[in-house]
Structure 1
């Protein structure tokens, strides 16, 4: 496919995604219906779509509209490419520019482009909660997130894992945030087919999530509960960090745990799945990675930021408080409650600790991670009674 044909495909996909079609589903369906498109074509089109979703506000400003065509005009303008070289109407490329589009492209470039890529209603809260880092973090969130692997230190070490990956054309480098993390700098699309991944020596997990997990206290024989386990990434990381601990995984939706037994077997980890609605009590450590806005991960899931609204955020905040109240009752005397999520917002992070503190809990450790550290936005707090 020509560069123009790729842009035209991205326009079509965006016009399907913007009204509500999940991006991954739209991309999968497009690939199935366009078998002639090679892997490089599909990768380029995917990049166009996700770049546009991450920078939807600024691209709309640059391109003079909010549909797929305007967003691709904005993308080209942001990249310093003359849209008239792409929008020619030749072959499978997009139709030539209209007079209105040409006028929009000649408009001055605003100075606050990065801020436009947050939902407008959320900007005051983000500006207050991110403080002095607001501008730099806003800019960082417009770029693609790095691909980070967690080395399963129960079975290998980072140096050996990196060598094994390199043998298959996957180049990595250590991540400064945590010793278990490797950043993939070449060959990321090969990871899922690599022997290291297939044999459970590495897992995909962001460096901030790994670093947060590394902060929790672990010791042989401890009873540990991953209360909102989801796919089980935290449970697997805990099991790798301390194989002698007794790890349990629970989720309100048991279907989310369906792949965990296979992943645990691949990693050589022992993780007990709790019966639905019966997590048990008396744990030395309860980890709560609560459902949240996901604002710290919007580089990876950019469509989510445009679909979040005040009502949904309020629902999430109420759910987090309910989960924390239940989880606190599962901690044994002298135990630790670890609260974490991937949000930048104070209302979802530190503000959630106030009710617990009123009940006699005290925060021992609190840490916020930022994309300025080469990771997702993430929050963790360790509490004890």
Structure 2
């Protein structure tokens, strides 16, 4: 695909998102219709789409339209790219800009547009973050770095970094947690790297790793809202006996394979089976939340969250904590 054709594909997908379809579903639907697209093409289109979703409001203002085409024009203007070189109508590229499109659009000035956030979030966002709110909002408009957790049960951080560097994946230590490495280049090689396939490293945000690292010592731990098992795997890598639970058991279906690759084992339990295990010295509860900590990686969540849903989530979190306290031993955490 030519660069212009990639932009045209992104416009098509952005229109699907604008019409209410989920981001990943829209990308999958396009990929199934576009078997001709190679891996580099799919990656480039995906980057266009996610960068635009992160800047959903501002790009519509810059492009003068809320359509996929308008937002893509806005994204390219934000990057100061040569739009005529991409919108020329040849080789499946988008049609050239009309006179109206050339003069439409302006720099965003409204706070919600500049910060790229729903208006209702702004007061709470500022209250929570104070002077850091504006910088945090700006950070959410860029891609998140890819961070790895080194499986200390199989190797140390230096060994993992050296093994990755041999195949062109450069990393640097992440100060948030000693087991964290942030990829600085070559991230697209990770999935086929020996370090990943052999369980030396796992994808995991540094903040999630830090939560596990700060937990008190305990032999047996219950990860009550385990989901895909990222924290459960990190706990198991420390040599702990880990019990994983999720209200939706199917969310944990990948944990056994991931644990095997990591050289550990994790026991999966449904809710009605937990009591038989007795009490736990540590119960980890990563309860359903707004997902704001992952908005750089999953920007769709920023636009899907509503004030009503946030209230529902706080109530749900209280209910889950009330439920899980019964599983904590007398001197447990």
User: Which range moves more in the overlay, 61-70 or 141-150?
Assistant: 61-70
Q: Does 1:228 align with 2:225?
A: yes
2:202 is the counterpart of 1:237: no
Q: Does the aligned pair in 1 maintain the 2:58–2:108 contact within 8 Å?
A: no
* Contact kept in structure 1, 2:247 and 2:270, CA below 8 Å: no
Q: Deviations over 1:190-221 (max 9, x none)?
A: 211111111111110001111121111124xx
CA distance in 1, matches of 2:112, 2:93: 27
Report if aligned partners of 1:288, 1:324 keep a CA contact under 8 Å in 2. yes
Displacement of 1:44 in angstroms is 1.2
Q: Which residue of 1 aligns with 2:120?
A: 121
Within the alignment, does 1:251 sit opposite 2:246 as a pair?
Answer: yes
Residue number in structure 1 paired with 2:60: 60
Q: Which residue of 1 aligns with 2:270?
A: 275
Question: Which residue in 2 is equivalent to 1:262?
Answer: 257
* Change beyond 3 A, Cα 1:35–1:108: closer
Which residue in 1 is equivalent to 2:156? Answer: 157
Q: Deviations for 1:28-52, whole angstroms, at most 9, x for unmatched residues?
A: 2322322222222221111100000
**Which runs of 5 or more structure 1 residues have no equivalent in the other structure?**
337-385
SS of aligned partner of 1:208: helix
C-alpha contact 2:54 2:142 (8 A) present in aligned 1: yes
Quote the residue 2:28 is aligned against: 28
SS in 2 for 1:247: strand
Query: Does the 8 Å CA contact 2:115/2:134 hold for their aligned counterparts?
Result: no
Unaligned 5+ segments in structure 2 are none
* Secondary structure of 1:150's aligned partner: strand
CA contact (8 A) 1:162 1:171 kept: yes
Match for residue 12 of structure 1? 12
Verify the 8 A CA contact 1:114 1:135 in the aligned structure 2.
no
| Alignment deviations for residues 262-300 of structure 1 (CA, whole Å, 9 cap, x no partner) | 111111112222234332242100000111110111111
Separation (CA, whole Å) in 2 of partners of 1:290 and 1:51:
28
State the TM-score, normalized to the length of structure 2: 0.94
Deviation for aligned residue 1:114: 6.7
**How many residues get paired?**
331
Deviations 1:306-364 (CA, angstroms, capped at 9, x unpaired): 1111222222111111101111221111111xxxxxxxxxxxxxxxxxxxxxxxxxxxx
1:289-308 correspondence to structure 2 within 5 Å:
289-308=286-305
Alignment-derived partner of residue 374 in structure 1:
none
Q: By percentage of residues, which structure has more strand?
A: 1
Structure 1 residues 111 and 146: alpha-carbon distance in aligned structure 2, compared to 1, 3 A threshold: same
Q: How does 1:1-385 map to 2 (within 5 A)?
A: 1-105=1-105, 107-110=106-109, 112=111, 115-219=114-218, 222-241=219-238, 243=239, 245-280=240-275, 281-336=278-333
Question: Aligned equivalents of 1:167 and 1:32: distance in 2?
Answer: 34
| Partners of 1:31 and 1:81 in 2: CA distance | 26
Distance in 1 (CA, whole Å) between partners of 2:188 and 2:112 is 30
- Distance in 2 (CA, whole Å) between partners of 1:90 and 1:112 is 38
SS of aligned partner of 1:156: coil
